Structure 1
């Protein structure tokens, strides 16, 4: 009886082993698209670039309109924030708009922050981190409108660059009025532990004019507009590279989409940087050229949100540009939509900031 049971057990084990070998390997990408979209819709936007590296299918779904529809059905709607500084009287004004409502709506901004607010705000989820100008850090919850004060930074640096890489906010470069801390040129705020720590000092002098942008969590590098050129700061070791602007064209804004650097040049239009050949090339298919107004750009779901303020006409417009092609050959742009967001903008308004919040709950 015992031998018969052992034989049955051995046959069962062999059958299970054979079935396991014959069973197809399972992967997340093999699930139906609607299930994958429902899972991705619950993942914070800042982790989407990492998902895009897993497979071409996930990359396509992350950038698809179906994901935006799924997010909206779950009560999520992406929001854009535009900041203006008014010269006379000295004040700051914030506006917001959404994908479904292309019209700027005014929102409150704490007036007492104006004196300490001198660097680019950083959007993390639904919170806006305001750092620089002093050791103070303020955090604005965009859902509730409540403002709270974060831990003070160890060292105050004037005219520093600010960028977000993964779960850390980096402040580096500029000048330090405190002589005893002159050798500390970079620091980072850990969003997980809510603590400050020293970061690798940049290998070259970095003076920012509040125009800094970061690659979406992948390259661990921050691109800083320093004068007329771009300095690339590697957060791992502080190594800095310099990207020379194209000829003598006037450029005031930069943006990084899928690890490709874009600049808007007044005399040429939108251009991209071919890193291997180290040359600037025109983005084909667009007519954005000759704008003398203020320009801002932001990465949005693998696309480029192009915002411009026509001072003479008192209007603010936004265009959503999809980018196609290869970063080794050529890139084309296609305008998916373009709308006037606001009219009758006072002449004294100067557009300062443009941010995208893609984890907003209604």
Structure 2
């Protein structure tokens, strides 16, 4: 080799030896998300691939979708609003919410989790943060028209609706007491609402049969976006809904004043106790929340730590397969129940939700 000649360029690293990279990407895209942390340890090329847009697009085209659980928690040792995702029955930390507000509303739109409003030092905010759950990265979203705290939110037919969380004491707040975000245009639009539904605080919400249900301090309201009609929540549902609820197969599940899980059967208009889980779960008197993960009921709750002299708290999680039996009763079978995280005592669970990726 002459003194002026350049050394040969190093060969590009292939993902899987003896396979073209496009074939390797197709194979790796079929690996469950729960195993992605293991793949990241294989090589830098794997780690780079898993965080790329190419990998996310390939997974979407192959449709190997699976639900992933996301949880936000307020720690007693920091002012941050901590975020976690559930991997192999352990809560793994991801980047915290950039603005740790109190009383934010949450909604899932596609692969993204929206955190809407909330307050800091008793001042409500119109700010929106969006977590792209494919890459676990945050970005600012389009701000709402009015500041809100403790609002209700939900997604119907691809649009994100938010209502309440503000006093309708000005024209702007009254006109925008409810508003909707069109993700295609990235803009909010006012949703007309009658005076009688404009309660300030919303403690729970859910989307059922294409309608957004919002529970207020006194009663609740239903918005049918397809017909643009508002109506009150029926008394039986209103009397038994304690918040922190989720919908699985058309049944709204929450826990009652005795700490038992119940479901509202729309066909019969009745609350029914979920049977078969009494011995495997504690009574959820506070600090519990629920999510629908792939058709199963996920319950996350705060529990005392067996060690730590009272200075630590455990976060527990259970996955329950729920169904109706031949008699119309609600029956649950616990698939697993474990402690998934240990945090400082007096921490509190804020919200949990499942995102399909």
TM-score using structure 2 length: 0.68
Does 2:132 align with 1:141?
A: yes
Q: Tell me by how many angstroms 1:311 deviates.
A: 4.6
Contact 1:121 1:130 in 2 (8 A): yes
Tell me which of 351, 354, 359 is aligned to 2:352.
354
Does 2:180 align with 1:188?
A: yes
Aligned to 1:222: 212
**CA 1:106–1:210 in structure 2 vs 1: closer, same or farther (change >3 Å)?**
farther
Alignment of structure 1 residues 1-362 onto 2, 5 Å = 78-87=67-76, 89-98=78-87, 101-111=88-98, 113-115=99-101, 118-133=103-118, 134-176=125-167, 179-184=170-175, 185-201=177-193, 204-215=197-208, 219-227=209-217, 230-236=220-226, 237-244=228-235, 251-267=242-258, 269-287=260-278, 288=281, 290-311=283-304, 314-325=313-324, 329-343=328-342, 345-359=343-357
Please give the alpha-carbon distance, in whole angstroms, between the structure 1 residues aligned to 2:190 and 2:113: 22
Contact 2:241 2:254 in 1 (8 A): no
Contact 1:161 1:207 in 2 (8 A): no
**CA 1:182–1:293 in structure 2 vs 1: closer, same or farther (change >3 Å)?**
closer
Q: Render the CA deviation track for 1:103-134: whole Å, top value 9, x for unaligned.
A: 111122144x114x632222223322122232
Bigger Cα Rg: 1
Contact 2:117 2:126 in 1 (8 A): yes
Please give the alpha-carbon distance, in whole angstroms, between the structure 2 residues aligned to 1:298 and 1:131: 18
The residue matched to 1:211 in structure 2 has which SS? strand
Q: Tell me by how many angstroms 1:168 deviates.
A: 0.7
Please give the alpha-carbon distance, in whole angstroms, between the structure 1 residues aligned to 2:80 and 2:235: 35
Q: Tell me by how many angstroms 1:255 deviates.
A: 1.4
Q: Tell me by how many angstroms 1:178 deviates.
A: 6.7
Contact 1:260 1:327 in 2 (8 A): no
**CA 1:274–1:74 in structure 2 vs 1: closer, same or farther (change >3 Å)?**
closer
The residue matched to 1:154 in structure 2 has which SS? coil
**CA 1:309–1:245 in structure 2 vs 1: closer, same or farther (change >3 Å)?**
farther
TM-score using structure 1 length: 0.68
Please give the alpha-carbon distance, in whole angstroms, between the structure 2 residues aligned to 1:157 and 1:192: 23
Contact 1:228 1:245 in 2 (8 A): no
Q: Tell me by how many angstroms 1:189 deviates.
A: 0.2
Structure 2 unaligned spans of 5+: 1-29, 31-58, 119-124, 307-312
Contact 1:213 1:223 in 2 (8 A): yes
Please give the alpha-carbon distance, in whole angstroms, between the structure 1 residues aligned to 2:63 and 2:148: 42
Q: Render the CA deviation track for 1:244-277: whole Å, top value 9, x for unaligned.
A: 4689889342111122212212415111123354
CA RMSD of aligned residues (A): 3.2
Q: Render the CA deviation track for 1:124-179: whole Å, top value 9, x for unaligned.
A: 23322122232222222233343322222223344321111121110112324771
Please give the alpha-carbon distance, in whole angstroms, between the structure 1 residues aligned to 2:151 and 2:63: 39
Q: Tell me by how many angstroms 1:298 deviates.
A: 0.6
Q: Tell me by how many angstroms 1:210 deviates.
A: 4.8
Tell me the number of residue pairs that the alignment of Structure 1 and Structure 2 aligns.
Answer: 282
* Range 302-311 or range 177-186, more displaced: 177-186
Q: Render the CA deviation track for 1:300-332: whole Å, top value 9, x for unaligned.
A: 222211111115652111111112216993221
**CA 1:332–1:259 in structure 2 vs 1: closer, same or farther (change >3 Å)?**
same
Please give the alpha-carbon distance, in whole angstroms, between the structure 2 residues aligned to 1:193 and 1:229: 34
Q: Tell me by how many angstroms 1:83 deviates.
A: 0.8
Q: Render the CA deviation track for 1:26-69: whole Å, top value 9, x for unaligned.
A: xxxxxxxxxxxxxxx9xxxxxxxxxxxxxxxxxxxxxxxxxxxx
**CA 1:122–1:76 in structure 2 vs 1: closer, same or farther (change >3 Å)?**
same
